[in-house]
Chains A and B, each alone.
Chain A
Amino acid sequence: MQITGQLALTVVMGLFLVVIAAWLAQIEDWRSYTPIGSGGATGESGYVSKEKPAGISRWLTTVDHKDIGLLYGAYGVIAFVVGGLMIMLMRIELLDPEMTLLSNSFYNSLLTSHGITMLFLFGTPIIAAFANYLVPLLIGADDMAFPRINAIAFWLLPPGALLIWAGFFPLGDIVPAQTAWTLYTPLSAGVGGGSQANAGVDLMILGLHLTGVSATMGSINFIATILTERGEKVTWANLDIFSWTILTQSGLILFAFPLLGSALIMLLLDRNLGTTFFAIEAGGTMLWQHLFWFFGHPEVYILVLPPMGIVSYVLPRFSGRRLFGFKFVVYSTLAIGVLSYGVWAHHMFATGMDPRLRASFMAVSLAIAIPSAVKTFNWITTMWNGRVRLTTPMLFCVGFISNFILGGVTGVFLASIPVDLVLHDTYYVVGHFHYIVMGAIAFAGFAGLYYWFPMFTGRMYQRRLGKIHFWTWMIGSNITFFAMIVLGYGGMPRRYATYLPQFATFHQVATLGAVLMFIGGLVWTYNFVVSWLEGPKVQDGDPWNLREDGMYTNEWQWFENKQETALADGGDEEEAVTDGGTTEAEAEAEAED
């Protein structure tokens, strides 16, 4: 066989990549998080501990739940930035009723990718980040039940993201998908004009499938870990609320994601191999919607339950008292888990389905509002007469509650069939679910990031910047999403790239809020990067003074043990001042705040 020049070039490139990989693996001083408590000295040998190599090899081969948690976190944050930049382009375009900056089709592509990126590449992974890092520490386990499955569950995600975003890369004729994240057939089956038959949609579906497999593997791991790996003293009666929500969420993933995977495979077969699952004359237009939303609505609770767990966990620490009605929150979490499977067709009230079925879905949708409302009252009652410390994580928790009430109440209206028929497919729905996904879920995520930042990094962030971040986001999100609610009442349809001039003012207001959030995002990025590298080191294992109120918990105990066994570095770093604590020197400044 004749060796062509192209083949030879491929081999040379392959060898070159192997050499690069081998070289990267040898670099030992990759400065980032290092578990100095594990007894090794970084930078001097090829290993940070007996089992763990140094350098990039550590991150590529790790099965340590904390490392994998950090990988999930980095992945989620990168996806959040990508999804955020996408929406900034869209919001700037929406300043003007006509298309000025982008083309219609590119707007549709951004709309599709923004949704999928935020839900599948940011939402689920950032929750997995907290869960991986914290659940084993909280329940007294050595690691996850299946550490290697844990690692592969993460490593399925980067190729998933690349496939989902593939259309944006310069890859020949491949264009980004324009199906919206719901992938409704027959549009997504490649029927009709436009670019719906393009391979970009196939790649996105494959990417989605990979992220689904990843989430399913992760959920099996969490269920096994929480059921079988709990420490002797950690019983069902004192399992922490975050682990309860992760257990419930994992149960939801276990039943929801395989169904999404099956539906995606059916869609791929329809698109590429001529099957007719979703053809009009076969499954019809409703089959996909039923399959998708049977996954899609539990997905909402997959995304919101763990953030509720974070708020339920963090909020009492800064209220100086235990969570009010702890068992109410546990039982209502489980209730939401079950009922979330009985509400899927409230996304389909306007499809012309049988009115008897529609009535049933309305009934369960109204019932599921109760457990969510109960939690809200529990959080408020926890703060009531408590010794509230308005640290940055606490502010994000309070912001979560405020936004969750707005998003929740607008959602209860949508659960009512007559109201839904008027507001369906308008910006009201967009405002409602953004209050939940951004105003609540992302806020809780950032509450967690700030609360555990000292543990993740061993350093403290700049508290003034943290508060600037909170207020820009709180004000920005309410400006944007409230404007969307108003637009919806006015009849502005969702997903449109252009609109009638009468909607211009509120679209411009919405963009103003988005710009505020963008500025807040820049502040947050600067704060975390600089603080991670140069922030004052945390000196003890109780940076939030939790012991004062008897609220000290397992993960901080682990952190304290790690601090105590760490090698002394002999440095004279300035004393870390936590967001909630004060030193004598800072007492005066704190009083001024």
Chain B
Amino acid sequence: MAKTVFDKEMFLDLVVNFIPLFILLFFIVGYTVYNPFGIDTTFRSLQYALIVTPFIMLTILTYLSAKAIGTSERDAPVYLPGGATVDGAEPVEEHEE
């Protein structure tokens, strides 16, 4: 089986999306610990749904895009972004970007 694309470099690239995910997580925990507005099942559920849904969607999209980019990097030569069809284009070093 081919080597996984989720190596250390990849996780470093994904830090940019881990930060907003962490902020969302912070508020999910925060609103659980501190709740000044009382208990109301409907609005409480909606409150969590509004933060948890973007959290899940962002996690899925980050995973899928990272997998697509990582697989392309592994299986095909990587050219300068936007420069693949230039005459005589040479692949750039991996992870040079």
Assess whether A326 is interfacial by the CB under 8 Å rule.
yes
CB distance from B28 to the nearest CB of A (A): 8
Assess whether B89 is interfacial by the CB under 8 Å rule.
yes
CB distance from B88 to the nearest CB of A (A): 10
B54 and A342 form a contact (CB under 8 A): yes
A238 and B23 form a contact (CB under 8 A): no
Interface segment, one of A183-191, A215-223, A229-237: A229-237
A334 and B62 form a contact (CB under 8 A): yes
B20 and A328 form a contact (CB under 8 A): no
**Which applies to chain A's interface (DSSP): helix, strand, loop or mixed?**
helix
CB distance from B52 to the nearest CB of A (A): 9
Could you say which residues of chain A place their CB within 8 Å of the CB of B87? 557
CB distance from B76 to the nearest CB of A (A): 5
CB < 8 Å neighbour of B20 from A323, A327, A335: A335
CA distance A326 to B86 in the complex (A): 19
**Which residue on A lies nearest to B44, using beta carbons?**
A356
Assess whether A18 is interfacial by the CB under 8 Å rule.
no
CA distance A238 to B61 in the complex (A): 18
CB distance from A333 to the nearest CB of B (A): 10
Assess whether A367 is interfacial by the CB under 8 Å rule.
yes
Contacts A332-B16, A342-B54 given; does A364 touch B24 at CB 8 Å: yes
Assess whether A286 is interfacial by the CB under 8 Å rule.
no
The interface on chain A, measured as residues whose beta carbon lies within 8 A of the other chain's beta carbons, has a size of 53
CA distance A337 to B17 in the complex (A): 12
Contacts A236-B72, A338-B58 given; does A370 touch B20 at CB 8 Å: yes
Could you say which residues of chain B place their CB within 8 Å of the CB of A554? 82-86
Could you say which residues of chain A place their CB within 8 Å of the CB of B20? 335, 339, 367-368, 370-371
CA distance A231 to B16 in the complex (A): 29
Could you say which residues of chain A place their CB within 8 Å of the CB of B79? 233, 238
A363 and B23 form a contact (CB under 8 A): yes
CA distance A288 to B44 in the complex (A): 23
B50 and A328 form a contact (CB under 8 A): no
Can you list 13 A-B pairs, Cβ within 8 angstroms, ordered by A? A231-B85, A233-B77, A238-B84, A243-B82, A335-B62, A354-B43, A356-B40, A360-B46, A364-B50, A367-B20, A550-B80, A552-B83, A557-B85
Residues of B within 8 A of A (CB): 13-14, 16-17, 19-21, 23-24, 27, 31, 37, 40, 43-44, 46-48, 50-51, 53-54, 57-58, 61-62, 65-66, 68-69, 71-73, 76-87, 89, 97
